[in-house]
Amino acid sequence: MKVEIREARPSDREHLVHCLDALHDRMVELDRWNRLHRTRDHGPLNLARLRREARKNQGFILVAEADGVPAGAAFAHLRTYSREQRTEERPTKMGFLSDLSVLPEWRGHGIGTQLLREVEIRFRRAGCDQLGLGVFVPNRDAQRLYRKVGFRAEGMLMVKRIGRPPARWPPAARGSEHRGRRRAKPVRPTSRS
């Protein structure tokens, strides 16, 4: 199998949306508390956000093709530091991998590893001294991949359930109903995504 990693093109929009949806579907599948879901507009909205982030913070979006077929994507940018963060952390130039997705039918073929290598190469060329990412704790496959290529845990988000989740999202403030607004319907993960 021949894998090519390249910059995303405008014609890759459908593939990138599919990658973002497939990644989130995997997280929905692994979510032990059943708090995650995916709406129909998840992929397009997140792609727009990630493109803005890449433009604003010297980032890039990569597409992996396996034997000429789109198989995955990586979304990355330089991490920015607030004034407050600069009072707490030493100066560093960190590349940040916000999302890495390999479509289900291509997982286990080394495509994620190749995407990670290309992301690292690009950030090294940009003068970065660190590469960071976030990972959903129940996603053990992703953790294994990241450890294999040298990532180590630096922090962790811990959550404790202290009440019932709201019946609606976003939770409406008392007396302020969202009249006239249509909410997107959740989409159940499919074996294709």
Mean pLDDT of the chain: 88
Q: How far apart are CA 95 and CA 130, in angstroms?
A: 6
**What ranges do the domains of the chain cover?**
3-154
The CATH code that applies to domain 3-154 is 3.40.630.30
Q: How confident is the model at residue 170 (pLDDT cuts 50, 70, 90)?
A: low
Say yes or no to pLDDT of 166 above 90: no
% helix, strand, coil for the chain, step of 5: 35, 20, 45
Residue 58's closest CA among 146, 139, 125, 138?
125
Verdict on whether the full-model pTM lies above 0.95 = no
Read off the DSSP letter of residue 91. -
pLDDT score recorded for residue 185: 57
At 62, the amino acid letter reads L
Percent of the chain exceeding pLDDT 70 equals 87
Res 87 pLDDT > 90: no
List the beta bridge partners of residue 66.
Answer: 3, 69
pLDDT tens digits, 17-71: 999 999 999 999 999 988 899 999 999 999 999 999 999 999 999 999 999 999 9
The answer to whether residue 107 scores a pLDDT higher than 90 is yes
Q: Return the pLDDT at 110.
A: 96
Average pLDDT of the segment spanning 2-29? 97
DSSP, res 61: E
**Residue 62: its H or E element:** strand 60-66
